[in-house]
Amino acid sequence: MPSSGRRRLSTADERRETVLRTAMHAFAARGYYGTSTTEVAEAAGISQAYLYRLFPHKEALFIALINRCAWLMRERMSRCLATADSTDPAEVLTTMASAFRGLAAEERDLVMVLLQANCAASEPAIRAAVRDCYAKQVEYVRAASLASDERIRGFFADGVLGNVLAALDVAAVDAPWARTLSGPGCGHHSPPR
């Protein structure tokens, strides 16, 4: 007999999403090595035992987070490309870069998790997940843009630099080195000309 005073229990999938959102913030702030599953569980409002039912260990949780970041990036780029007016490779790369910049501005934690994932790549399973993330992104960009390897390499080089500049909040730094690195084409996902 349903009671209108009872609150609906979350499903495992809903809890998994809650944990991933919570973990995104925790891992972005303190990295793989500095984040405990206890703090993620507490912030998500679940027990650590339940967290381990959803993700068997911290490494599995972090890898799920890397996969979530990859999905969010592809999903945002795909949505932007669906409304693009051109199929020119340079313009497609510019559209994709703009899509990622928008996502990064809304989800700063995503950028930080990606940087933290690179730092934790000394762990074999995390290294494999990061490689898989890059592989999927590169192949998606290649298929969507039909750009040359050189342009795709430039797109990712500028993207990685852009992530580092965002993490360092270089936009708030008024110094020659900061202007050089954040100038046109640097760190803004612009394809090489």
Q: What is the largest CA-CA distance in the chain?
A: 69
pLDDT in tens, 158-185: 999 988 998 898 989 999 999 999 876 5
**What is the C-alpha to C-alpha distance for residues 166 and 127, in angstroms, rounded to an integer?**
23
**What is the C-alpha to C-alpha distance for residues 41 and 63, in angstroms, rounded to an integer?**
16
Residue 150 has pLDDT above 70, yes or no: yes
Residue 54 has pLDDT above 90, yes or no: yes
Query: Lowest mean pLDDT: which of 58-62, 158-162, 186-190?
Result: 186-190
Q: Indicate the pTM of the whole model.
A: 0.85
The pLDDT score that the predictor gives to residue 10 is: 63
Per-residue pLDDT, averaged over 111-122, amounts to: 96
Mean pLDDT estimate for the chain: 89
**What is the C-alpha to C-alpha distance for residues 123 and 126, in angstroms, rounded to an integer?**
5
Per-residue pLDDT, averaged over 14-21, amounts to: 91
Question: Within the chain, where are the H helices?
Answer: 12-34, 37-44, 48-54, 58-82, 89-106, 108-119, 124-145, 149-167, 176-181
Per-residue pLDDT, averaged over 52-74, amounts to: 96
Identify which of 47, 40, 45, 42 has the alpha carbon closest to the alpha carbon of residue 23.
Answer: 40
